[in-house]
Amino acid sequence: MRVSVLSATAALVFATLAGGAAPAAADSPAGPVLQVDLEAGKGLHHNTGTVIYERVDGAANSVRIISVQITSGEQDCAWVSWNDPHNVNGWSNLTSEPSCNGTGLGENPGIIIKAPVGHPLKVRLAGDHLGDVVHKDIQKL
């Protein structure tokens, strides 16, 4: 009888320890942090951008945008957007405003972007001057 009580106690302790580990695993990142570098234009119209993201665990075709960095050309405004299948023009900005006239912009949106299965997620660095988009770089996430 003592052996069965001891076994039951050991099983209870093991179950408690195993149950306590589960929330910690759920709070851990979904995967490695990934980076996409973007570059468009030359000379005074040279724009660069970087998107840091991670895949969302268990969600098909979803990523969490951790940060976006943009540096515009001296004569451009530049922004980074993603190919949003729900937006009328097909693209939604990842930052609250563009970077203009050689300045830099960095934001940490922390948003999750999603697309239906079969719609590859992409980001685009677009640079314009005088209102026309003339430079762009598109990369898959």
What pTM does this model have?
0.75
Predicted pLDDT at 131 = 75
Q: Establish how many alpha carbons lie within 13 A of residue 69's alpha carbon, considering only the half-sphere containing its beta carbon.
A: 9
- How many other CB atoms are found less than 10 A from the CB of residue 125? 27
Stretches where the chain sits below pLDDT 70 are 1-31
Domains annotated for the chain, with CATH where assigned, are 34-140 (2.60.40)
